[in-house]
Chains A and B, each alone.
Chain A
Amino acid sequence: MSFNLTSEQIDIQKAAREFARGEFTKWAREADEKEYCPEVLYKQAAELGFQGIFFPEEYGGAGLGYMEFCLVIEEFWRVDPGLGQSLGSVVFGSDLLLTFGSEEQKKKYLPPITEGEAIMAAAITEADAGSDVTAVATRAVLDGDEWVINGTKMFITNGNLADYIILYCLTDPDNPSRHQRHSCIIVETDRPGFAATKIHGKMGIRASDTAELSLTDLRVPKENLIGERGEGFAQFMAFFNRTRLHIAAQGIGVAQGALDMATRHVKNRVQFGRPLAALQAVQFKIAEMATRVEASRSLLYRAASLADQGIFDHKLIAMAKWTAGETGVRVTDEALQLHGGYGYLAEYDIERFYRDAKIVELYEGTKEVEKQVIARVILGKA
């Protein structure tokens, strides 16, 4: 077992750090305020090869692994979570295509993402189906050679920007198993019947697009079904085992970024004639924050490097995602506390990081869902 990054991984980490530091900082505040991610960043990120890092080369990717993708996401979020999420989520949904899509689907949908020509999304959540994905009611009915889709989707990342979206639809409502009633269908967003409405006013990661989708008699060829009919639930469970790695990297990135800011602040801010860093209470806080970040990172790197060996450890991945989310929230909270009143002002980036961190405990499975996954593996269905 090795705990060192390879020289190639170090180079990738540095490349991501330099790009994010060089470019994100120009836009971060405006992107948060105006709720958008500049076009030029999407273009640059694709040109530099950051889109599709874990895609095999035959689909235009770099042929690297989840570990390398996590390193990039961590560095992006460390500089700005909102822009990090915007650029990191361009590939959102691709894991499912890679795992269950046909060769034809992979060749059609994946290369444009790596070239900066397309953005993806995956849509499960509905107003009445959040953590309970079996309650999804968006209906897809086979009519001849086409699926006809009707329904609505809520909180969909990239809903307004995506060129194609993987929709989680109810296709077999009469199947006795509620885990075999849904299917994944890929939908091009320029088809009639597709409408997206931007959701404004998110607390954090405001640069990232979120939408409500409305699907009205939306028709797609029946070949747009991914894998087998009725396998949607199983596919998404496998999907989460991959995407939760990305999300854990986000939590670690936002925490590390907050720790960087806090460290800088306590070394520079003088109170009672000494820098804050000279106070033991402050030293303990910094030590605790740094330890939490390292512990979360170790858990993620272990889970991600196992995933790159083909071992998707459901429990370990859920642990990594939960811990990283909690680390993000706690460390940004402590970092803001160390900034005192200054931290409460939008003028200081820690204010934004504090708002951005919370999402990691909510999406891709709330922390409660993660704990449920962990407990089920340990205790069985008790």
Chain B
Amino acid sequence: MKIAVFVKHVPDVAEADLEVAADGRTVKGGELPFEMNEWDRFALEEAVLVKDSLGGELTSFLIGDEAAEESLRRCLAVGADRAVRVWDDGLAGANPFALTAAMRGAIGEDEYDLILCGAQSSDDGYGLGGPLLAEALGVPSVALVNKMKVEGGKVLVTRELEGGWGEEVEVDLPALVTIQTGINEPRYVSILGIKKARKKPIDLMDAVSVGITAERLATEKEKLSLVGIETPAVGEGAEILEGSPEEVAAKCLALLKEAGGVL
């Protein structure tokens, strides 16, 4: 079984005060810490689980600069056998089409039975990387998967729909699956894993080695351009309920009833 997982290194904005920069299209965040995209953690764990149960080789891919390599080391530390990092200055801030071209190029002639991606990334959130890559590879894809089993040349998945509904789908391998959070419990990185990771290879590829010319990059970039970013609207403010705990609870209940739907 040849498995590939694609991961992204994204800013952790949980406690950051974000502002739109003067160009109106980028975010000013100061010194943000970066980490592996949350969805990708689940995709990585799922990939490791498949490898552990069926055997095979797991390759992890990442498009990003040297600092982003941390997320690839995490892949290696939890069970990936090798890692590939693709970077070119022209890919900085690139749209999903340009990134997909790089991802497709990184796979090259290699044939993977199963390719896993996070369903979306917490920074841009297009949710396009997986489906576009499947298209480029000519393999079927299923998105938003929250349960998965590989069996007899097929992958059986449950897709998460709205309102708690699920959809069971059977897909022939090779296939690409985009993973929803909560599908598993991503493991912690162990000290032994970190030490082992140091001995595993991280291959570097640039735009030339993934077969993307400057013209191709320009064409892909033209397909989708970010025009502007809007910040969340500031609400009306909160109503403070006062009184004893019993009174507050009663007022709360009344308000919820009034709003309807819940009670």
In the complex, residue of chain B having the shortest beta-carbon distance to the beta carbon of A260: B15
Check A239 for interface membership: any CB of B closer than 8 A. Answer: no
Residues in A29-74 with C-beta less than 8 Å from chain B: 44, 47-50, 53, 62-64
- How far does the Cβ of B198 sit from chain A's closest Cβ, in whole Å? 6
Tell me whether B188 is interfacial, beta carbon within 8 Å: yes
- Whether A47 lies near B70 (C-beta < 8 A) is no
A128 within 8 A of B: no
Q: C-beta contact mask, A1-35 vs B, less than 8 Å → 1, else 0? A: 00000011011101100110010000000000000
Partner of B188, one of A8, A22, A63: A22
Are A49's CB and B73's CB within 8 A?
no
Name the distance in Å between A93's Cβ and chain B's nearest Cβ. 21
Q: B209 to chain A: which residues have CB within 8 Å?
A: none
A274 in the interface (beta carbon within 8 A):
no
- Are the C-beta atoms of B15 and A50 separated by less than 8 Å? no
Interface residues on B, range: 10 to 19
Residues of B within 8 A of A18 (CB): 188-189
In the complex, B192 has a CB within 8 A of chain A:
yes
In whole Å, how far is B219's beta carbon from the nearest beta carbon of chain A?
A: 36
User: Given the complex of chains A and B, what is the CA–CA distance between A47 and B192 in angstroms?
Assistant: 10
Residues of B within 8 A of A14 (CB): 70, 189
Query: Is there contact, CB below 8 Å, between A7 and B70?
Result: yes
Judged by a CB distance under 8 angstroms, whether A229 is at the interface is no
CB neighbours (8 Å) of A10 from chain B are 70
Query: What residues of A have a CB within 8 angstroms of the CB of B69 in the complex?
Result: 7
A48 touches B198 (CB 8 A): no
Contact (Cβ within 8 A) B191 A19: no
Tell whether B8 is near chain A: CB-to-CB under 8 Å.
no
Given A8-B198, A11-B70, A11-B73, decide whether A49 and B188 contact each other with a Cβ distance below 8 A: no
Contact partner, B190, options A22, A49, A64, A264, Cβ 8 Å? A49
Chain A residue nearest to B66 (CB atoms) is: A7
Q: Which of B17, B73, B189, B190 contacts A47 (CB 8 A)?
A: B190
Cβ-defined partner of A8 (8 Å) among B15, B74, B194: B194
Tell me, rounded to whole Å, the shortest Cβ–Cβ distance linking A352 to chain B. Answer: 21
> Considering the complex, which residues of chain B in the window 61-97 have a beta carbon less than 8 Å from any beta carbon of chain A?
69-70, 73-74, 77
Task: Flag if A15 contacts B189 (CB, 8 Å).
Answer: yes
B70 and A264 contacting across the interface, CB-CB below 8 Å: no
Task: Give CA–CA (A22, B193) in the complex, Å.
Answer: 18
- Further 18 A-B residue pairs, CB within 8 A, beyond A12-B191, A18-B188, A49-B192: A8-B195, A11-B74, A11-B77, A11-B189, A11-B197, A12-B194, A14-B189, A15-B189, A15-B191, A15-B194, A18-B189, A22-B188, A44-B188, A49-B191, A50-B191, A53-B191, A62-B195, A63-B195
Q: Which A residues are within 8 Å of any B CB, using their own CB?
A: 7-8, 10-12, 14-15, 18-19, 22, 44, 47-50, 53, 62-64, 264, 267
For the complex of A and B, 6 pairs with smallest distance between CB atoms? A49-B191, A15-B189, A48-B190, A11-B194, A49-B190, A49-B192
